[in-house]
Structure formats: C-alpha cells, structure tokens
Amino acid sequence: MEFPIEKFKALRTPFYYYDTALLDETLQEVKEHLQPNWQVHYAVKACTNPKILRHVVAAGFGADCVSGGEIQASLDAGFPADKIVYSGVGKSDWEIELGLMVGIQCFNVESVPELEVINELAKNHGKIAQVALRINPNVGAHTHENITTGRAENKFGIAWEDTYNVIERCQQLDHIECVGLHFHIGSQILEMDDFATLALRINELQEMLETYGIRLPNVNVGGGLGIDYDNPDAHPIADFKAYFETFRRYLQLRRGQQLHFELGRSIVAQCGTLVGKTLYVKEGSLKKFAIIDAGMTELIRPALYGAVHKIENLTSTESEECVYDVVGPICESSDVFVKDYRMPKTRRGDLIAIRSAGAYGEIMASQYNCRPLPESFTSEGLCCQ
Ligand SMILES: *Cc1c(COP(=O)(O)O)cnc(C)c1O
C-alpha cells in the first residue's frame, strides 16, 4: 500500500487512515461474484465510520446490524431500511421498536423469548415482523476461540434440534412471519472447508424441514471470511472467489430462495491502517521496547484476541533491523501490539503503520486513560486537502 507520508507528517497521531480506492476495488470484486438471487449485507459492526459506510451504500449493499445504534447509523449513511437485517442475542425493546418502525427487512432471532417479545411489540404497533431464525449449526470453525460462534456451547442462536418447534411457534404468533434461516459460525475463517461444512449442515436442515412441508424463502449464511494479516500487500483483497464458489458448490438452494451474506471484516480490514509515532525506544534488561503513541485504546485486537498485525516503519531510512516489543502508552500490561518483532531500526518521531486495521479497529476504540478518540482520514480526503 502506498501511503501519503508527507501528508501524514502534518497530522496529529494516532489516527486511522482508510484507502478508499482499495475499498472500492474490494466492493467491486465482491459484486463480480454475486448471483442474481444473492444479497450482501455489510456487517456494520466491523467499521461504522460514515466515510466508509458511504462507499458501501454506493456499491448497493445492505447492512447487517447488531444494535439499534447500528440501525440508526446505517439509516443515516443511506442504507435503505428494507436492506437492513438485525442480529443479536440481546435485543432491547427500544431497538426492536426502532427496527419495526423503520421497516427493516428482517430480525435474525436468537431465542423463543425474543420471538415472543418481538411479537408483542409488533402487535402494539400494528406491524408484522419478518424474522429469520438464527440456528446454531454446531459447526466449529478454525479460528480464535473468542470468535467462533457456531458451536453448541456458544451463546448464539437457537439449538439445531429445536428448529422445527420454533418455526411452529412462529406460526402461532400473529405478528411474526418466519421468512428464513440464519447462520453465522465465526470470524477470520480461512478454511473454506468450514463454510462447506456449514453449507452441508444447512442442506441437512432444509431436507428435514421439507419432510414437514416447510420451505422458507431466505437463507442467510452470515459472514466470517478471513483476511491475510501477515501479508496485506500480497493479498489486499480477500479470497472472495473461493468463498462464494464454496457456497455455490455445496449449498442447495430451493427454488425461489434468496441467499444472504453478512461480510464484515473481509470488506474493510485491509483498507484501514492505524498510524502512530515512535515516542521512545527503551532498552530493558531483557528486551528492547518501541513505545509508540497508539495503543490498545485505538486498536484492541492484539490485547483482546492475541491478534498480530503487520507493523511498518514508514519513515525509517535505516537499513539495520532490530527486534522490538512494540507497545502502546496505556497503563495495562496487555497494551502490546506485538512481541519480539523484527523491523527497521526505529527512533523517536518515526511514523509507524499498523496494517489491516480497518475492521474491529476504530469502532472498538475507547477513551480509557482519558484519551481522545482517534481521528480518521481517507485517501480521497487527503488528496484533496
Ligand atoms: C460479526 C457478525 C458478522 C460479520 O462477521 P465478519 O467476520 O466480520 O465477516 C456477520 N453476521 C453476524 C450475525 C455477526 O455477528
């Protein structure tokens, strides 16, 4: 990725930088693989920056939200309400009411008590709520334990065995219309076999339901496609071809069914970079620390999931390399971006890029230690300043 380093030097660090040309290319790539009865709902939680949402709206995608706040942010960005789907294990009444009032496409429902509350609220407002049942397919995914969601022990979704009973329950509720099945097995998944397994599980479920004469118009397979954190320049765009091909090959849609995807990370991760500056280089008795002015308050993934992002020294002119623990300024021992990391020798004032930070980065920023939230810039914004 090319960075406008001279422009960066005039900005206060740390900040987020988004390459919107790469974002647009990524969105185009996704579109090229879509079939006419397929719809992508961008998982807004990955990055809710309005400058990013604008591009996703322009590409014609819908939105996948997990809170009322995200529904509002999506509407504000211009997503049509009827392309918004709403997931989440713990939807509050006001959030459900917001979804009902603006007329979202679908509630992805995760339990019977939730179904009953949606029915009640829809009744109060004289609405019929369209719902898809989020079924826990009991499929493991080869990813970090904190981001698998599709196993029986996870809190998400309705148990596989209960699917038929819950569909029956929907039929008893006058203000609920069950229009689909929904799944989401986890995040940062790079093994296409995991998606193939999901597709086969869905086939199994659809066959079982057909023995009861049930065929729902929508199937939603969630998101979860991973990206290359080690080599963002070699793979700036996720392997959408293999991903979509897997569903095309293994998932048997019934006639008239629509297939929905909820991709988050794979759309925005590579276009985002967190840029900080080296403050101090400290020689400890065991280690050399590169202390930078960005920390877990701007990017919590390393502390939260043990994630490793590629780090680049954008301004170093040194040919010598050193091994550093690259750490932030926050008063937490877990405020470490990476340990024992080899990179060009750094000194005070160097601009440091933490790559692949477009997803679950800026949106997870906090004000811990009374830090200001990071500013953001885009490639198009900086070119015009
Ligand atoms: C988080 C989430 C997604 C997006 O996952 P990615 O790994 O970012 O693609 C999709 N659907 C649901 C229900 C989610 O919770």
For residue 300, report the distance from its CA to the centre of ligand 1, in Å. Answer: 18
pLDDT for res 37:
97
| Level-2 CATH architecture, domain 20-268 | Alpha-Beta Barrel (3.20)
Asked if the model's pLDDT at residue 13 lies above 90, the reply is yes
- Band (pLDDT 50/70/90 cuts) for residue 139 is confident
What is the pLDDT at residue 318? 85
- From the alpha carbon of 264, which atom of ligand 1 is closest? 8
Query: Ligand 1, residues 39, 42, 44, 45: which to mutate, most atoms within 8 A of Cβ?
Result: 45
Residue 110 CA to ligand 1 center (angstroms) comes to 14
In this predicted model, what pLDDT tens digit does every residue of 323-381 receive, in sequence order?
Answer: 999 999 999 999 999 999 999 999 999 999 999 999 999 999 999 999 999 999 999 98
* pLDDT tens digit sequence for 67-83: 999 999 999 999 999 99
Q: Which atom of ligand 1 approaches the CA of 46 most closely?
A: 8
In this structure, the residues whose C-beta lies within 6 A of any atom of ligand 1 are 43, 45-46, 64, 66, 87, 184, 187, 222-225, 262-266
pLDDT tens per residue across span 285-328? 899 999 999 999 999 999 999 999 999 999 988 889 999 999 99
- Considering the chain, what is the average pLDDT of its residues? 95
- Ligand 1 geometric centre to CA of 222 (Å): 6
Centre of ligand 1 to C-alpha 95, Å, is 19
Q: Which of 26, 262, 268, 305 to mutate to test the pocket of ligand 1 (most atoms within 8 A of CB)?
A: 262
- Residue-range domain boundaries for the chain: 5-12+270-383, 20-268
Nearest CA to ligand 1 atom 3: 223
Across 50-72, average pLDDT: 98
Query: Residue 119: pLDDT above 60?
Result: yes
- In the reported structure, the alpha carbon of residue 73 is separated from the centroid of ligand 1 by a whole-number distance in angstroms of 17
Residue 148 · residue 188 · CB < 8 Å: no
Residue 138: the pLDDT is 84
Q: What is the pLDDT of residue 383?
A: 76
Between the CA of 137 and the centroid of ligand 1 the distance, in Å, is 15
- Calculate how far, in angstroms, residue 9's C-alpha sits from the geometric centre of ligand 1: 35
Across the range 27-39, mean pLDDT stands at: 98
pLDDT score, position 284:
84
- Which atom of ligand 1 is the closest one to the Cα of 262? 10
Which atom of ligand 1 lies nearest, measured to the CA of 226? 7
Candidates 3.40.640.10, 2.60.120.960, 2.40.37.10, 2.60.40.10; CATH matching 5-12+270-383: 2.40.37.10
Q: Who's near 291: CB < 8 A, 6+ residues apart?
A: 278, 279, 280, 281, 282, 327, 328, 329
Report which ligand 1 atom has the smallest distance to the Cα of 359.
8
Q: What pTM value is reported for the model?
A: 0.96
